[in-house]
Amino acid sequence: MALAPEYTEYGYHACIVIAFAIIGFGLKYIDDAFDEETFSKRIAILMAPILVILWISLSIFDSFSATVLFAILFAVLLAGKVDNLTFKLSTIALIAVLFLTMMSRFSYGPLIVLTVMGVADEKGNDYVDTHKAYGISEFFFAHRCSMKVGTLGLCLASALPWLYLIAFLAFDTAYEFVKIFQYLEELKFSLKIKKVQLAMIVLKKFK
C-alpha cells in the first residue's frame, strides 16, 4: 500500500531536519577534536567524509538546503575559520561539487543575506570571547543569533519555507549540544581523578 502524499512529505521534511542536525553535530565535533583536542581526531577524520556526502546529497536534491548550508560554509570561509586539514579538504570537496553541479540551484538573495549574517555571527562570537560584553549583545553573539534572525526574516518574507528555520535551529541545537557533551566528558574525567585522589588518601591512612 502506498503512503499518502502528506506522509511522504512529512518524512521528507523530517529527513531534512535530521540531516541538518547531524551536520551541525559533526562540524562542532570535528572542530573541537582539532582545536580543543577534547574528542578523538581519528573519529573526526572518519566523520568528515560522511558529513561531506550527506551535505552534497542534501544540496543536490534540495535547493533551499543548498542555499542554507553553503551560506554557512561561505560565512566560515570569509571569517577565516577553516583552520585544520580535515576542514580544508572537506571544503575543497564541497566547493568542487558546488561549481560542477549546483551554481544554478541557489536562491541567491537568501544566500547573500545568510552569508552576511553568518560572518556577523563569527566575528561577533570572536569579539565576545575576547572582550567583556554584557546583556543582550553578549547573549546575541555568544549564541550566534544573527543567522537565526536572518533565517526568521527570510521565512517571514516568504523567501524561504518555514521548514528551513526548523532545520537551521536543529543544526544549531545539535552544534550547541556538543558543548554539553564535552562538559559531561570533562566532568566524568574530573570525577575519576577525584576518586583516584581519594583512594590514595585512604591508602596512606592505612599504611
pLDDT value at position 98? 72
Distance CA 27, CA 104 (A): 26
pLDDT value at position 200? 56
Sign of CA dihedral 121, 46, 63, 65: negative
pLDDT value at position 186? 56
User: 3-state SS string over 2-34?
Assistant: CCCHHHHHHHHHHHHHHHHHHHHHHHHHHHHHH
3-state secondary structure of 154: helix
Contact 118, 74 (CB under 8 A): yes
Q: Is residue 162 over pLDDT 90?
A: yes
Q: Is residue 91 over pLDDT 90?
A: no
For 180-187, what is the mean pLDDT? 61
Least confident piece of the model among 27-36, 75-84, 112-121, 133-142: 133-142
In terms of pLDDT, which residue wins out, 2 or 85? 85
pLDDT tens, 109-129? 999 999 999 999 888 888 877
End-to-end CA distance of the chain: 75
For 175-200, what is the mean pLDDT? 61
pLDDT value at position 110? 92
Q: What is the pTM of this model?
A: 0.80
Contact 145, 121 (CB under 8 A): yes
Distance CA 31, CA 44 (A): 8
